[in-house]
Amino acid sequence: KQEVTQIPAALSVPEGENLVLNCSFTDSAIYNLQWFRQDPGKGLTSLLLIQSSQREQTSGRLNASLDKSSGRSTLYIAASQPGDSATYLCAVNNYGQNFVFGPGTRLSVLP
């Protein structure tokens, strides 16, 4: 059974810092890994999707990498801003299976 963990559970950084969020999964036979952002009381917004055949994806200040063999993905946020404060979730789906979500990392970027 696929299990997804995220470290750290919470992170507080001053504005302008570069930071890394981690996502680990136990079964490497995945189709996709998707990173989401969730603001308090809101739905999930898709940030990046990495296919199993890819090693990274970039969107603006965000860069996500995927290492299937080690069961890890990282989300790198450059030059963090207070508006980046949110909970970040990763989710994976295995061949023919539904998505499994991690518990999330709660990020606070202090002005």
Partner 1 sequence: NAGVTQTPKFQVLKTGQSMTLQCAQDMNHEYMSWYRQDPGMGLRLIHYSVGAGITDQGEVPNGYNVSRSTTEDFPLRLLSAAPSQTSVYFCASSYGLAEGNEQFFGPGTRLTVL
Give the footprint of partner 1 on this chain (CB under 8 A): 31-32, 34, 36, 41-46, 49, 51-53, 89, 91, 93, 96-99, 101-104
87, 104 in Cβ contact below 8 A? yes
Q: How many CB atoms sit inside 10 A of residue 38's CB?
A: 15
Least distance between partner 1 and beta carbon 33 (Å): 11
Exposure string over 58-70, b if 16+ CB within 10 A, otherwise e: eeeebbbbbebee
**Which residue, 74 or 97, is less far from partner 1 as judged by CB?**
97
Least distance between partner 1 and beta carbon 88 (Å): 13
Q: Whole-angstrom Cα distance, residue 109 to residue 11?
A: 8
**Which residue, 31 or 76, is less far from partner 1 as judged by CB?**
31
**Which residue, 13 or 49, is less far from partner 1 as judged by CB?**
49
- 91: its two tokens: 């989710």
Least distance between partner 1 and beta carbon 101 (Å): 4
